[in-house]
Structure 1
């Protein structure tokens, strides 16, 4: 290779090294944001309050089913009483399953709605940090990231504002 080519390769390597040194990278652990943000805790409390009545109704149904099962386990019931209790237990079981499925679907939908707002706020906070501190790249998903690149605490602090 002639000296001119070596000089060009050297300049290219130096330029690449300089650009790499100026590259600012960060990482956000979204699971941690969802787990630790005060907003998340407030939303969880809100959902618990919103769904507590229905959760209480399901608990009452569970208690009634246990009572019926205990009653049926006893030997001294007349055949009419046994049939009536078995029908009630079967109806209660069907109703419980339907209400549990409905509760679960409604809770999941509300939770997703609420967490979408957290995700939106977190993304705004991440963009503000990126612009303010001149980041070139911020990732939210990775198999491994060196802790020195973790910006999660900054995002949590930004969400507290």
Structure 2
């Protein structure tokens, strides 16, 4: 991020020199976009969250079910352990340890699989946001679009809302095309 800030500052300094030179420098059109807002509020982001939820909800429910079963065994041991035979108590303790290990392993696998898929979805979303920014920049003939690392940008140069609108239009178009293909 620091490298981008320095690069942007150098660009802006160069632009200021050009503008101040008084030569027949053409007006430079600069826009600023907040990628975090786009990654949070775009319909593509919401669709990605829903896909992940649909994909991982069954495994999550299964983990919760297994944890409840484990708690019941632990409660049984706490409640009845003193009146159980030594062999029964040891058998139940082994069962609890075994299930605890299995659940931990399943949770670790779940977390790893979820993180991999979330990163895939995030990468896809970043590419969609980038394409929307570039498309808008070319259409509206921007010379420079700044993103992360901008300390202040007035409403006149902030194009985040317009890019978000573009993403919404793209999403509607994609959904319309997907709906037509399914029929």
CA 1:119 to 1:20, structure 2 compared with 1: closer, same or farther past 3 Å?
A: farther
Q: Cα offset for 1:28? A: 1.9
For the 8 Å contact 1:27–1:145, the answer to whether it is kept is no
- For normalisation by structure 2, the TM-score amounts to 0.73
Separation of aligned partners in 1, 2:154 and 2:64: 44
Q: Does 1:154 align with 2:175?
A: no
Q: Cα offset for 1:16? A: 3.3
CA 1:131 to 1:18, structure 2 compared with 1: closer, same or farther past 3 Å?
A: farther
Separation of aligned partners in 2, 1:40 and 1:157: 14
Unaligned runs of 5+ in 1: 1-11
Separation of aligned partners in 1, 2:19 and 2:39: 42
Q: Does 1:100 align with 2:110?
A: no
CA deviation profile, 1:45-101 (whole Å, cap 9, x unmatched): 111111111111110111012112211211333222221221111111111111111
What is the aligned partner in structure 2 of residue 110 from structure 1? 117
Unaligned runs of 5+ in 2: 1-16, 170-183
Q: Does 1:73 align with 2:78?
A: yes
Separation of aligned partners in 1, 2:152 and 2:167: 22
Q: Cα offset for 1:154? A: 1.2
Separation of aligned partners in 1, 2:34 and 2:28: 20
Separation of aligned partners in 1, 2:123 and 2:24: 36
What is the aligned partner in structure 1 of residue 96 from structure 2? 89
Which consecutive segments of 4 or more residues in structure 1 shift more than 3 A? 12-21
- For normalisation by structure 1, the TM-score amounts to 0.82
Aligned residues: 150
Separation of aligned partners in 2, 1:103 and 1:124: 32
Q: Does 1:23 align with 2:31?
A: no
Further displaced range: 25-34 or 126-135: 25-34
